[in-house]
Amino acid sequence: MHEFDDLNYKFSIKKSSSKPQILHNEFIAEMSTIDNILINHYKELEFSKINYFILSQGDIEIGYGSATEENGFMTIYELFVSPKYRELGFGTRIFNEIRKYTKSLDLKIRSVTLPSDRTGKNFYESNLITARALIMEEKRENSRYRP
Three-state SS at 58: coil
Share of the chain above pLDDT 70, in %: 88
pLDDT per residue as tens digits for the range 76-115: 999 999 999 999 999 999 999 999 999 999 999 988 877 6
pLDDT > 80? residue 116: no
Cα 61-64-67 angle, rounded to 5 deg: 150
Which range has highest mean pLDDT (4-8, 21-25, 114-118, 138-142)?
21-25
Q: Please, which pLDDT band fits residue 120 given cuts at 50, 70 and 90?
A: confident
> What mean pLDDT comes out for the span 22-40?
88
**Residue 36, pLDDT score:** 84
Span 2-126: which CATH code?
3.40.630.30
Q: What is the 3-state secondary structure (H, E, C) of 60-128?
A: EEEEEEEEEEECCEEEEEEEEECHHHCCCCHHHHHHHHHHHHHHHCCCEEEECCCCCCHHHHHHHHHCC
pLDDT > 90? residue 47: no
Three-state SS at 25: helix
